[in-house]
A and B are shown apart, each in its own frame.
Chain A
């Protein structure tokens, strides 16, 4: 099993540009989560999906952020337009059963200049 796969690993973009982060969960996992990690705020849950359906997006900071999960093997997190304060590491995680915990991807380090 290749684990949770995120791409790209690093992204540097200019303010105002659109950024798309991608995630492939572990096959068979029915829940997918997007987190953001910063020094100031720690790990924040942005949104999570269950069986491809968004369940809770209350952590999405602004309308500039959107997430989709068109099928069980792929999810995207989009920021449009991006701002310097969006610079962070974005993690995707997936889970099969609640009591098993989550498996995290390696993250995407986003820098908006």
Chain B
């Protein structure tokens, strides 16, 4: 069973527009949730993480995500897209703190048009 699902493999927005990247998880217990960004030919960089503290999490580069238990969602948003935000974004989940096993979604490629 897929533990984390990202809706939309490609998202295209205009510069200055709202960015919304969707992520849903499947877990019976509150997991640890993360968003990573990957720029071309680079490794993965942690954007933000949810670890059962505040449900609205702020990350780097103006991104934030809200944990909604009732919707099992952890969508990533940014009010105003910059050209430099063009990258691939991965939602990831750790279901068990005992194993620490990080499971990734399939990724969403964000395109920002001028």
A residues in contact (CB < 8 Å) with B: 4, 31, 33, 42-43, 45, 48, 50, 55-56, 91, 93, 95, 98-107
Task: Find out whether the CB atom of B100 lies under 8 angstroms from the CB atom of A43.
Answer: no
Q: Tell me whether B49 and A101 are in contact (CB under 8 A).
A: yes
**Given A33-B102, A42-B104, A56-B99, 14 extra CB contacts under 8 A:** A43-B104, A50-B100, A55-B99, A93-B102, A95-B100, A98-B97, A99-B51, A99-B97, A100-B49, A101-B34, A102-B44, A102-B46, A104-B45, A105-B43
Contact yes or no, A31 B100, CB < 8 A: yes
**When A and B form their complex, which 9 residue pairs have the shortest distance between CB atoms, in order from nearest?**
A99-B51, A104-B43, A43-B104, A98-B100, A104-B44, A106-B43, A98-B97, A42-B106, A101-B46
In the complex, which residue of chain A has the Cβ closest to the Cβ of B100? A98
CB distance from A56 to the nearest CB of B (A): 7
* Assembled-state Cα–Cα distance A95/B102 (Å): 10
Residue ID in chain B nearest A102 by CB atoms: B102
Contacts of B46 in A (CB 8 A): 101-103
Q: Are B32 and A99 in contact (CB under 8 A)?
A: yes
Q: Does B84 contact A (CB under 8 A)?
A: no
Contact between B44 and A91, CB atoms less than 8 A apart: yes
Main secondary structure of the interface of A (DSSP, over half): strand
- Alpha-carbon separation in the docked complex, A106 to B38 (Å): 10
Query: In the bound complex, do residue B43 and residue A43 qualify as a contact, i.e. CB atoms below 8 Å apart?
Result: no
9 examples of A-B residue contacts, CB within 8 angstroms:
A4-B43, A42-B107, A48-B101, A98-B94, A99-B49, A100-B49, A102-B44, A102-B102, A106-B42
Most B CB contacts (10 A, CB to CB) among A43, A45, A100 go to A43
Give complex CA distance A101, B48 in Å: 9
Closest Cβ of chain B to A99, distance in Å, is: 4
B74 in the interface, Cβ–Cβ < 8 Å? Answer: no
CA distance A43 to B38 in the complex (A): 12
The complex places the Cα of A12 from the Cα of B44 at a distance, in Å, of 22
